[in-house]
Amino acid sequence: MPNILKIEFSPLTPLWTGNIDRDSAEPVVSGLLGSLRWWFEGIIRGMGGYTCDPAGDEKDSSKKKCLFDGKHIEAVCPACRVFGCTGLSRSFRLDVQGLEALPLFFICDPRVFVSHGNWLIRIYEGFRERRSDGTSFGFNNSQLWATSSAKLLFTPNSLTLAKRGLNAEQLTNILYYLLSVISKFGSLGAKGQNGFGQIALDSETSMSDWKMQARQALNILVEQFKDANPDSAKNARQNDPDWFSLDQFFSYTYKIPDAGVYQRPGSCRVIGDEKTFRQHSDRFLPCAFDIRYRRSLRNPATQRGEDIGFRPYAKNSLRRSGSPDYEELVKALGSPAKDGDRKRKASRIFVSHLYKQKSTDPEWSLKVWGALKRTWYELFNDYITSSEMFPKAKIDENATFAWEDWK
């Protein structure tokens, strides 16, 4: 029997893993694998290594996907050595236990209820109903949740480990490390930019223990690939600057004693299943979409309405400082289109829902992370702590991350 690595975790916000087919767990697993690989790529690139993009550009020889010829494992990038590519299976099997479907819902500031409802039903396959008391929104999709712990079960593909230059212990260290990074600084599964996938590992072993051994194992993969694929070679493969990398990464977790409009009974609006919202409103408040996109603009002709949301905030602030970065920032923020996580240009700021580490916690947590210029996340920080959002928010210094502090 191969040694199965069992990682127990508690979702702090629901997971999004693609449309759920009730007869099969496959979409769930493939959604999780996609996000594990995405973080793995970010770590390797942050370490100065190369990994290919699974959506690679076959016409551009510097960006094409890996292909294993059965002999030269060093020609396969570190991510494909672990996650597989054409000619090479994945180094482990993943099973998930303990997650259950929960009706989908979001909450928002009442001022943007209709515009956000319309966006969200497009992104998450919902519908609109007109009732006598106004418009309401519903969804055909679910999200995943666990009232107690859920489990990720990694079964190493023992027969192929030697072929890829890994042993079971190295693989275990790498996977644990990956989950540690995700739980502390990012999110698990798809749609992390819209609040899904905040998790806590149930038995968090001190990260430094795993970190050293995992990084040693990763370094070997990075160096072997470099030796076999020198930058000077014809057709050298290079990371695209638009690919996700932790080398410009930051992650902050805020502690928020007063979640304002989102926590006062009756003051926020629910998009989707209202009953489920009430059942879970002591654990998470799904307002990430609102935090990123809350937006309404003053009509310049009539002067009606008001400027609210990050975009007008950033615009005004950058204009005041004479910075030319505004258009670039808007690009980095993306638009609320139907964007898969693979479409990386779409989003560079990720925002969690508001959540509690434990239901008895007096404060809400909010995680903000991304890969962008320091001036931009400082600006986003100003916005989060502004009177418009959460003026009492404080950064939790124990849960702050920047890659340069870490390598």
User: Judged by CB under 5 A, does residue 82 bind Zn ion?
Assistant: no
Binding span for Zn ion by CB under 5 A among 77-85, 87-95, 104-112, 190-198:
77-85
User: Judged by CB under 5 A, does residue 222 bind Zn ion?
Assistant: no
User: Judged by CB under 5 A, does residue 291 bind Zn ion?
Assistant: no
Q: What is the total count of residues that contact Zn ion (CB under 5 A)?
A: 4
User: Judged by CB under 5 A, does residue 221 bind Zn ion?
Assistant: no
Least distance from Zn ion to the Cβ atom of residue 235, Å: 14
Least distance from Zn ion to the Cβ atom of residue 305, Å: 49
Least distance from Zn ion to the Cβ atom of residue 45, Å: 12
User: Judged by CB under 5 A, does residue 52 bind Zn ion?
Assistant: yes
Least distance from Zn ion to the Cβ atom of residue 125, Å: 32
Tokens 């739980």 belong to 183
User: Judged by CB under 5 A, does residue 112 bind Zn ion?
Assistant: no
3-state SS string over the chain?
CCCCEEEEEEECCCEECCCCCCCCCHHHHHHHHHHHHHHHHHHHHHCCCCCCCCCCCCCCCCCCCCECCCCCHHHCCHHHHHHCEECECCCEEEEEECCEEEECEEEECHHHHHHHHHHHHHHCCEEEEEECCEEEEEECCEEEECCCCEEEEEEECHHHHHHHCCCHHHHHHHHHHHHHHHHHHCCCCECCCEECCCEEECCCCCHHHHHHHHHHHHHHHHHHHHHHCCCCCCCCCCCCCCCCCHHHEEEEEEEECCCHHHCCCCCCEEEECHHHHHHHCCCEECCHHHHHHCCECCCCCCCCCCCECHHHHHHHHHHHCCCCCHHHHHHHHCCCCCCCCCCHHHCCEEEECEECCCCCCCCEEEEEEEECCHHHHHHHHHHHCCCCCCCCCEECHHHCEEHHHCC
- Which residue of 7, 12, 15, 77 would you call a contact of Zn ion, by CB under 5 A? 77
User: Judged by CB under 5 A, does residue 329 bind Zn ion?
Assistant: no
Tokens 């695209």 belong to 240
Binding span for Zn ion by CB under 5 A among 59-67, 170-178, 256-264, 288-296:
59-67
- Comparison of 56 and 312: residue with beta carbon closer to Zn ion: 56
User: Judged by CB under 5 A, does residue 7 bind Zn ion?
Assistant: no
- Comparison of 54 and 312: residue with beta carbon closer to Zn ion: 54
Binding span for Zn ion by CB under 5 A among 78-86, 228-236, 331-339, 388-396:
78-86
User: Judged by CB under 5 A, does residue 80 bind Zn ion?
Assistant: yes
User: Judged by CB under 5 A, does residue 66 bind Zn ion?
Assistant: yes
Least distance from Zn ion to the Cβ atom of residue 361, Å: 41
User: Judged by CB under 5 A, does residue 28 bind Zn ion?
Assistant: no
- Comparison of 91 and 251: residue with beta carbon closer to Zn ion: 91
Least distance from Zn ion to the Cβ atom of residue 406, Å: 24
Least distance from Zn ion to the Cβ atom of residue 86, Å: 10
Site residues, Zn ion (CB under 5 A): 52, 66, 77, 80
